[in-house]
Amino acid sequence: MQNYFSSNFKLGVLGGGQLGRMLLTETQKFDIHTSILDASQSAPCAEICNTFVIGDLLDFDAVYNFGKTVDLLTVEIEKVNIDALDKLEEEGLTIYPKPKDLRIIQSKARQKHFYFDHQIKTAPFSHFAFLEELQHCVENSIIDFPFVWKAARFGYDGNGVKIVRNYEDLVSLPKVECITEELIPFKNELAVIVARNAKGETKTYPVVEMEFHPEANQVEYVICPARIEDAVAKKAQETALKVVNELNFIGLLAVEMFQTETNEILVNEVAPRTHNSGHYSIEASYTSQFEQHLRAILNLPLGNTDSKVAGIMVNLVGAEGFSGDVIYENIEEVLQIDGVTPHIYGKKETRPFRKMGHVTIVNEDVNKAREIAQKVKETIRVIA
């Protein structure tokens, strides 16, 4: 068996953002040498990893040359050069998640076709190579308002997603490959994180419920456990497992879903990495999602995914109207509350809606935790 701990083994990570920073807590715990590739010298991981390399994640040579210096390669963001990963894999480098999966997940269009081909329920959709094709369909009443528009590639945190209600909304869209989806009435937005290692061992985290900011389309609160019926939770976990198994996925996969008014579960999209919906697990779970990601990609036994207590995560994002050197206003007040733990991501400059950190609230009672989360959200401000 490969010795990963206190050895010459080098784990490579593409991306040096906050997800990488939280992963480093676990690699340091296990004394695993970790190399990071990121385009920004001021990336959150830059000062705390073993080796930091500056390079564009979409540049073939940067990714390929970085891959030649490590023993196993993983990602903290899916916006990477897949052609370089294909070549590295052909040459024998172990890469998890596998490049074939990243290629599907990079494209919302490929994702939707994958769900359709594998009988995984998802919102009805149409795929357009050009915006003009979509405009033609609307003008000829093939598609009716309102609908959800998504850029086919590289959308995140509400970027590349828009509800199109009229022709003015339509003509303002970027002229890129896209998909449209039916606007589905839903009760809840849910997520399930599944881990799977190369031995085929699989572990599923509890279903979480997500509450979104109405304007920024970013998650404001993640609530674990989701306040839903057991039968719906079971259906959501089974759906997430089906996605992982159909992909033959290795690593950590976050599956975002809709619970419809009739309690159907529809897959929205997936992320092939640690995810905002799993941050609560650092304080609330027996095994955090970041430790589990390591266990999965290193083919180690997977950890217990049960929660010790209820957990709620509040995103800390830059307040509207503030840009510049960051100040966390009233952080001392939230630190006085039992069960509250802030995580600051190491980004020195704030701007409106930029993810700057999160706060976890743990409590035996999920409803009490939600009340405290509301107080935290109303108290702490990320300003300049």
269 is in an annotated binding site: yes
182 is in an annotated binding site: yes
For the stretch 115-174, pLDDT in tens is: 999 999 999 999 999 999 999 999 999 999 999 999 998 766 557 889 999 989 998 899
pLDDT band at 212 (very low <50, low <70, confident <90, very high): confident
248 is in an annotated binding site: no
pLDDT band at 219 (very low <50, low <70, confident <90, very high): confident
Contacts of 188 (CB under 8 A, 6+ apart): 209, 210, 226, 228, 258, 259
Q: What are the helix (H) ranges across the chain? A: 18-29, 60-67, 82-90, 99-106, 108-117, 131-139, 167-171, 230-247, 281-284, 289-297, 331-335, 366-379
| In the chain, domain spans | 10-95, 124-181, 186-383
Cα 126 from chain centre: 24
- Average pLDDT (248-259) is 98
Output the CATH code of domain 186-383. Answer: 3.30.470.20
187 is in an annotated binding site: no
The pLDDT of residue 158 is: 59
189 is in an annotated binding site: yes
Residue among 192, 195, 220, 221 nearest 207 (CA): 192
**Does residue 384 sit in helix, strand or coil?**
coil
The β-bridge relationship of strands 10-14 and 72-75 is parallel
229 is in an annotated binding site: no
Residue among 53, 30, 352, 49 nearest 215 (CA): 352
According to CATH, the superfamily of the domain at 124-181 is ATP-grasp fold, A domain (3.30.1490.20)
Q: How far apart are CA 43 and CA 180, in angstroms?
A: 34
The pLDDT of residue 218 is: 76
The pLDDT of residue 2 is: 85
332 is in an annotated binding site: no
Q: Compute how many other C-beta atoms are within 10 angstroms of the C-beta atom of residue 374.
A: 14
Say whether domain 10-95 belongs to CATH 3.50.50.60. Answer: no
